[in-house]
Structure formats: structure tokens, C-alpha cells
Amino acid sequence: MEASERARAAEAAHPLCAGIVDRPRGVFLDVAEVTELRVALTVADFDEALAFYRDGLGLEQVADWSSDEGRVVVLAAGRATLELLDEAQAATVDRIEAGRRVSGTVRLAIEVADSESAARRLVAAGAEQVAPPVTTPWGDRNARVRAPDGLQLTLFTAP
């Protein structure tokens, strides 16, 4: 496939690729080359984190690769995307969701059917409510919590 054909195919396959100019192969991955995004969290209290994410959030356990060397469990979390924000936009999102800049460089944003109910479940499972749920300017209903391991989660429900 020629470079211009690859660019047209990427644009047709995903609307966010519209307008991207073709780049030399090897410099950037083709859209089709990435088949999964997995976030790997190193946690101090494995049992607490497993109970929080699997039982509290309801993520399905799909693998357990634990051994004498250590513990690891993989939880399915639906479709994954990578959202990149500059510092100004991260501050804006934090201000909308939590009233001030509170998150670190990594924050999980998880789409759920009912963000307020999910937040209540997670608080009962050990999370700390960072701020009350809000309706964002883009129409989502967002709730912010801090997991027992310190990671902040935005639970969002699209309109």
C-alpha cells in the first residue's frame, strides 16, 4: 500500500485521523498496529487494590499470572483510549470536576452507566470522594474519586 493510500485508509478507519499527513513508516505506528492499551498499576496493597477495582468497580478478572515471584491479575475494562492533555487543559478539567488542580500526571477516566452510583459504590469500597458529581460543559455527568492506592478516577456518564 502506498503512503497516500495508507493515509486515506487511516482517515476512513477512524475520524480522528482526518487530516493527518502520511509519515515515514517506523516513525509512528499505523492505527491498526496497536491492538490493546493496558494500564499497569504497581500497588502497595495488592488485596485492597484487587477488591477495589475488581469488586468495587466491577472489572472482570480475565487473567491471574501470579507466581512465587509476585502477584499480577489482569482486569478487563472495556475499550481503551489514551487521552493526552497539556497542563492547562488538565487544570481546566480538574477545576470543573474538583474545583481546583488535584490530579497527578495519570488519572483514569472510566465511562460507566451511572457515574453517581458508581462513585458511591467506590466510596463504600474504600475510595475517597474528591468532589461532588458535576455536569461538565460538554454534557457528561462526572464524579471524581481517589482510589485507596492514591490514583484519581473520573467516572463519567455521557448524555
Amino acid 144 reads R
pLDDT in tens, 104-125: 999 999 999 999 999 999 999 9
Residue 25 confidence (pLDDT): 45
pLDDT in tens, 15-49: 444 444 444 444 555 556 878 889 999 999 999 99
Write out the three cell numbers for 129: 470522594
Contact 24, 37 (CB under 8 A): no
Domains of the chain: 3-33 (no CATH), 46-157 (3.10.180.10)
pLDDT in tens, 140-157: 999 999 999 999 999 999
3-state secondary structure of 93: helix
Q: Return the ∠ at Cα 59 (arms to 55 and 64), rounded to 5°.
A: 90
